[in-house]
Structure formats: C-alpha cells, structure tokens
Amino acid sequence: MDRSLGVIERFKDPDVLAGMSLGEKLGGSLIIMVLGILTCIVVLTLIMIVIKIMHKLMEGSAARAAGRSVLLVTSPVAGSVVSVAAAVGKNASKGDLLATVAGPQGESGVCAAETGRVTEIKVKAGDSVNVGDVLAVLEKKEAAK
C-alpha cells in the first residue's frame, strides 16, 4: 500500500481503498470526521465574532441617528461580575465606579470613561464576562452645533 498518499487522497482512489484493512478505513474515517468537526467549529466561531461586532456597531449607529452619543462600558478582564454600582437612569461622572469584576488577578473596578446617563445595564452580579463584553451603556448628549 502506498503510504505516501495523504488520508483524503487514499480515500479518493478506489484501488487504494479496496486494499485497505478495516482498521485503516476506520482510522481514516475518524481523521476525516475530526477535521470536518474542527472546520465547523472554526466557521461558527468566526460567525459569532462577526455577529457580536455587527451588534455593537448597530447599537452605536442607532444612538447616533437619534442625536446621542453612546459610550459602551466594557469589561477589562475575563471573570465574574462581583457587583453593579450603576443604575439605569442615573448620571455617572467620569471616573465613577459602575461595576466590579473578579478576574484571575483579583477584582477590577470598572469606571465611567466619560460623563453620561446610564441607559442600560447588561450584566448582574454573578454573571460571567469576557474581555470586551459590554457591561453598561451610557448616553451623552452631543453638543449643539
């Protein structure tokens, strides 16, 4: 049997396939199946990333269309939300603590980068978050032109 052929090429050639033992056929089938599953996982992960990016872009563009500026407050670390200090409808000044996230290096306070009104809280205590996940949304009125 020609071992220089790759697994997929060996399965394409009927003469080579006929000369294979049952173990070689099962092993080759398993390899091809695993490659297919890995390909599906990669494609689905890429689709999820694109959907997240599109969702963030749409949130921002909807607010800008309404004459508002949206500030997305994101998690600096992956971990668990310990507490949420912000409340919908309340104003937050630059530097105000909005939430606390516990990560591998300890707790991190998440503060407002700019002054605005809290329009949405996307997490609650106990939620798991990844780096970059939106924790809260602040609205800032644009200056009159």
Residue 50: which pLDDT band, with cuts at 50, 70 and 90?
A: very high
Q: Compute the residue count for the chain.
A: 145
For residue 135, the tally of other CB atoms under 10 A from its CB is 22
Mean pLDDT, range 26-53, rounded to an integer: 93
Whether 60 has a pLDDT exceeding 80, the answer reads no
H or E element: which one contains 110? strand 106-111
- Has residue 88 got a pLDDT over 80? yes
